[in-house]
Structure 1
Amino acid sequence: MLENLKRLDQEWFLAINGYHSSFWDPIMIAVSDRKFWIPFYAILIAFLIYRFRRQSILMFLIIALSLAAADGISSRFIKPFFARLRPCHDSSLSESINIVAGCGGKFGFLSSHAANSFGIAMLFALILPERYRYFKIFVFIWAAVISYSRIYLGVHFPGDVLGGAILGIFLGWIFGLIFRKLVVRYSYFSV
Structure 2
Amino acid sequence: MKASLAYSERSALRPYILVLSLLFAGSILIDKGTDVLWINGHHTPLLDLFLSTVTNLGDGLIFVPIIIMAMFIRFRYAITGLIASIAHGLFVSLFKRVLFPGMERPKAFLHNDLLHFVPGVDVHSTNSFPSGHTATAFCAALFLAFIIRNKVLGIFTLLLAFLVGYSRIYLAQHFLVDVAAGAVIGSFTTYIVWQIMELSNTPPWMSRKLTLPGGKKLSLPGTSAN
Deviation, 1:123, is 2.5
Deviation, 1:186, is 5.4
Contact 1:88 1:99 in 2 (8 A): no
Deviation, 1:46, is 6.0
Contact 2:57 2:137 in 1 (8 A): no
Structure 2 residue aligned with 1:15: 38
The percent identity for this pair of structures is 23
Structure 1 residue aligned with 2:135: 115
Deviation, 1:17, is 1.0
Aligned length: 178
Mark the runs of 5 or more structure 2 residues left unpaired by the alignment: 1-26, 208-222
Deviation, 1:39, is 9.1
1:145 pairs with one of 163, 170, 194: 163
TM-score under structure 1 normalisation?
0.78
Distance 1:104 1:117 in 2: 19
Mark the runs of 5 or more structure 1 residues left unpaired by the alignment: none
Structure 1 residue aligned with 2:16: none
Structure whose residues are more often helix by fraction: 1
Distance 1:41 1:133 in 2: 23
TM-score under structure 2 normalisation?
0.67
Residues 16-38 of structure 1 show CA distances to partners (whole Å, capped at 9, x for unaligned) of 11111111111111111259997
The answer to whether structure 1 residue 125 and structure 2 residue 129 are counterparts is: no
Question: 3-state DSSP class of the match of 1:8?
Answer: coil
Structure 2 residue aligned with 1:93: 111
Question: 4+ residue runs of structure 1 moved beyond 3 angstroms?
Answer: 4-7, 34-42, 44-50, 184-191
Contact 1:123 1:175 in 2 (8 A): no
Mapping of residues 24-173 of structure 1, within 5 Å? 24-34=47-57, 42=65, 44=66, 47-50=69-72, 52=73, 55=74, 57-74=75-92, 76-80=93-97, 81-82=99-100, 83-90=102-109, 92-100=110-118, 101-104=121-124, 106-126=126-146, 128=147, 130=149, 132-173=150-191
Distance 2:140 2:61 in 1: 15
Structure 1 residue aligned with 2:199: 181
Contact 2:107 2:125 in 1 (8 A): no
